A and B are shown apart, each in its own frame.
Chain A
């Protein structure tokens, strides 16, 4: 490359704290639901809510600690927050509405 190659112009820390903290959080958020399920400490309904909550928190860990979700291109806003929000909106509607519709009859004939 030529001498004007400016790729390290940005302040990058010397230790990847953000990634290490993200990794530890992701491990904790995996061990907790595993322990809750294997030890049968909670009743089914709170158990399902608890492990789903851990999974949702895991989305935030990956998006914010690993995927640079709120980082723009260094100039403009982070348009991907809008794009992915639409994706999540449709995902919630598809899954929620499917469960809701199918809950009216227990078995598909």
Chain B
């Protein structure tokens, strides 16, 4: 909105100076670009929600179609999926603490909490890979039954999202170390944490619909 009559040469990115459109907003919303990207990410989350809802619908329809093969009750290891759940819930909290410290302009604490979040994410993915390998070794593979096809597609899609989130968050940690907290890195921290909290919500439904209802 504001006409930038002075210094048109300031337009290149990453060169140290960032044009702030709204200095009195929270840091992640201070540029028009940042505010639009956050809103755009909510649109992405709505579409990702629809993706997961289709996979959930498929799973719910096919969950009883075990074709004489192993059932969820036989396959799911309760301590393992409970541990995965608490790890992911905790990582959602530590990611939130990173956003909190970002609003207090504490760069090192943001980096610290994001590292904790990434490590928790890695242990979650590690447990999930171990679970999948264990199932496959017992003959419970993707091809075995409609139930298992739907199970691996649904849980695997979530696992891929978490793995991508780990890589993404690592990249943002590097940018924070290099550039500190500014309206651009703050927007990135805010968005990656939106993604992470969203994946936690999806997992709560996996925990409930796939695992708890599977061992009932």
Across the interface, which residues of A come within 8 angstroms of B65, CB to CB? 107-108
Asked, given contacts A7-B183, A90-B50, whether A23 binds B197 with beta carbons under 8 Å apart, the answer is no
Shortest distance in angstroms between B154's beta carbon and chain A's nearest beta carbon? 12
Asked, given contacts A98-B57, A99-B57, whether A108 binds B216 with beta carbons under 8 Å apart, the answer is no
Q: Is B117 an interface residue (CB 8 A)?
A: no
Beta-carbon contact of B38 and A62 below 8 Å: no
B93 CB contact (under 8 Å) in A26, A59, A87: A26
Beta-carbon contact of A38 and B78 below 8 Å: yes
Majority-rule SS of A interface residues: helix
Asked, given contacts A12-B100, A62-B201, whether A7 binds B30 with beta carbons under 8 Å apart, the answer is yes
Tally inter-chain residue pairs, CB-CB below 8 A.
164
Q: Is A41 an interface residue (CB 8 A)?
A: no
* Binary interface encoding of chain A residues 74-104 relative to chain B, with 1 for a CB under 8 A from any of its CBs, else 0: 1100011001101110111011001100100
Across the interface, which residues of A come within 8 angstroms of B100, CB to CB? 12, 16, 19
Residue of A nearest to B211 (CB): A37
Across the interface, which residues of A come within 8 angstroms of B122, CB to CB? none
Beta-carbon contact of A30 and B207 below 8 Å: yes
Asked, given contacts A12-B104, A55-B205, whether A90 binds B53 with beta carbons under 8 Å apart, the answer is yes
B interface size (C-beta, 8 A): 67
Interface with A: B19-27, B127-135, B157-165, B168-176, which one?
B19-27
**Bound form: Cα–Cα A80–B29 in Å:** 14
Beta-carbon contact of B182 and A83 below 8 Å: no
Across the interface, which residues of B come within 8 angstroms of A92, CB to CB? 53
- The residues of A with any CB-CB pair to B shorter than 8 Å are 1-2, 4-10, 12, 14, 16, 19, 22-23, 26-27, 30, 33-34, 37-38, 44, 47-48, 51-52, 54-55, 58-59, 62-63, 65-68, 71, 73-75, 79-80, 83-84, 86-88, 90-92, 94-95, 98-99, 102, 107-108
- The residues of B with any CB-CB pair to A shorter than 8 Å are 17, 20, 22-27, 29-30, 35, 38-39, 42-43, 45-47, 49-50, 52-54, 56-58, 60-62, 65, 78, 82, 85-86, 89-90, 92-93, 95-97, 99-100, 103-105, 146, 180-183, 186, 193-194, 197-198, 200-201, 204-205, 207-209, 212-213, 215-216
8 pairs of residues in contact across A and B, judged by CB atoms under 8 Å: A23-B90, A51-B208, A66-B93, A66-B193, A74-B24, A94-B57, A95-B57, A99-B61
